Amino acid sequence: MTDALALTRALTAVDTVGHGETAALEVVAPLLRDAGFRLEVFEHEPGRGTLVAEWETGHDVPPLCLSGHVDTVPLGGAPWQHDPFAGETDGDRVYGRGVSDMKAGVAAIVTAAVTVARSRPRRAGLRLVLTAAEETGSQGARFVADRLGPSGPLVITEPTANAAFHGHKGALWLEALATGVTAHGSMPHLGDNAVVKLAAAVSRLAEYRFGVEPHPVMGPPTLNVGTFTGGLNTNSVPDRAVATVDVRTVAGQDHAALLETLAAVAGVEVRPLIDLPPVWTDPGDEWAASAAAIVREVTGAGGEVATATYFTDASVLTPALGGVPTLICGPGEPEQAHVTDEWCSITRLAESVEILTRVCAGWCGI
């Protein structure tokens, strides 16, 4: 069961589409407990647990932290050719909802951690944080963030096809609300049209220029108006309209200041739905450089510095752990996240176990 593929399949068999993460954690808990880890599960809602597992954390050097989430997104409306909860294999691929995003990454963490725990560390231990509810704004990570002690660097095994990503953009999701006064559609002068107000507001937002230079790796910040709803019926003046806006920020941007600016640009009520800051680790950081070198040795890939466009629990965990160096590196394919017939390469899964085992062994002094 410590085989990473078998563990990936076992995790995939547990339906964690927006629920049931504690049941998935029960798949890995016995393996970690038998390897000598101390375990504690924190549920922010019944059945929605986040596991903190620690091994040999009494050294002067703080533990290396490995993290991944076990929740998944819905299946979507299109039919699947492979059972989304069976972990079916075909050639070099294992299929199922969440195998790339990111149950294979979690399986790689546990497999590597159990392997390392067979040895006696001379320098430091390990901490695993396996979270719930990452997909909807990192609620699981938030719930345990203030319960974590001093930490060494952080590795998040989100899907990168085993490339070493040095961070990711931030996510600031907003709700814009316009209100008005309803009236009969034949007498619009007696009302105050909220849809028209909001349409003008989101047009101003869509034209907003951030006034910051593109990040040399992350590129520029972006803004997308994702949804727009309003009105009761055709022959009434609408008195309420709501839009949602997805802002992706880059290192150096302050979300509080940006929110204030965007509210002023919109001219309507604006409130945050998700507020997850960007994460960036200098490639020149000693630990990050050594970990990236291991990645290159194992995969044979080049050393291009890259970041993710998606957010991860690092937005919560990196600052909670003291702004530690952070890498995102996992076996899943980024393009497979959230798609029908999602798959992960079995070869990349094996590579991920080797990468994590070597990174852990190096930090722990094994």
The band of 302, judged by pLDDT with boundaries at 50, 70 and 90, is confident
Look at residue 282 and tell me whether its pLDDT is greater than 60.
yes
Averaged over 277-291, what is the pLDDT? 97
The band of 2, judged by pLDDT with boundaries at 50, 70 and 90, is low
The band of 303, judged by pLDDT with boundaries at 50, 70 and 90, is confident
Look at residue 133 and tell me whether its pLDDT is greater than 90.
yes
Residue 91 C-beta-side C-alpha neighbours within 13 Å: 4
Task: Give the pLDDT confidence score for residue 301 in this predicted structure.
Answer: 87
- Integer-rounded Cα radius of gyration of the chain: 23
Cα 53 to Cα 51: distance, rounded to the nearest angstrom:
6
pLDDT digits over 58-115, tens only?
A: 999 999 999 999 999 999 999 999 999 999 999 999 999 999 999 999 999 999 999 9
Q: What is the mean pLDDT of the chain?
A: 97
pLDDT digits over 12-33, tens only?
A: 999 999 999 999 999 999 999 9
Averaged over 282-287, what is the pLDDT? 97
Task: Give the pLDDT confidence score for residue 99 in this predicted structure.
Answer: 98
For 204, 213, 220, the CA distances from 323, given in Å and listed in that order, are 35, 23, 23
Q: Nearest-5° angle of CA 225, CA 169, CA 277?
A: 90
pLDDT digits over 226-280, tens only?
A: 999 999 999 999 999 999 999 999 999 999 999 999 999 999 999 999 999 999 9
User: How buried is residue 78: exposed, middle or buried, by Cβ count under 10 Å (0-12/13-18/19+)?
Assistant: exposed
Look at residue 1 and tell me whether its pLDDT is greater than 90.
no
Look at residue 9 and tell me whether its pLDDT is greater than 70.
yes
